[in-house]
Amino acid sequence: MIAFNILACEDAKNKSDSAFVGSKCRLNLTIKEEWSASQDNVISFQISAENIGELIIQTIVVTANLYFKNDYMLKTRFHLKELELEPGAKIKQYAIFSDTNTDLYFINGASRYDLDRIIYNAPFYTCLDN
């Protein structure tokens, strides 16, 4: 499990630097990976987020690099879209993988026991101007 706390993002409607100065778009974010109980090569990512800013959060996108013991690396991107996460609101849900319409990701030829580590890139997200 990894946590990203008090991040700032750009205001989706106002691309000026003022969105960063006021820190109006802020998010506490925790990501937890889960392996399928029935198959060791199916993974999903659960996102827990709290809007600690003043703007509505619309989208959260995360990229994860999965490194396996055989030196194989898989880069995947997952997201939550159309959130309409109001200031002060919290969510906890499974992310959808960008190249599919599902929250489950099948890792062909590898299992969780072959996994060495997961490295998450800093998430990005968009906010709507109130």
Average pLDDT score over the chain: 84
**pLDDT of 91 strictly over 90:** yes
**pLDDT of 100 strictly over 90:** no
Answer whether 61's CB lies under 8 Å from 125's CB: yes
pLDDT of residue 129: 76
pLDDT of residue 46: 95
What are the start-end ranges of the H helices in 1-130? 18-21
- Going from the C-alpha of 104 to that of each of 45, 70, 87, 101, 122, the distances in angstroms are 8, 23, 29, 9, 21
Give the residue numbers spanning the domain of 30: 2-128
CATH number at residue 107: 2.60.40
**pLDDT of 5 strictly over 90:** no
> How many independent structural domains does the chain possess?
1
pLDDT of residue 21: 40
Q: Is this structure's pTM higher than 0.85?
A: no
Q: Give the pLDDT band (50/70/90) at residue 130.
A: low
**pLDDT of 18 strictly over 90:** no
pLDDT of residue 33: 93
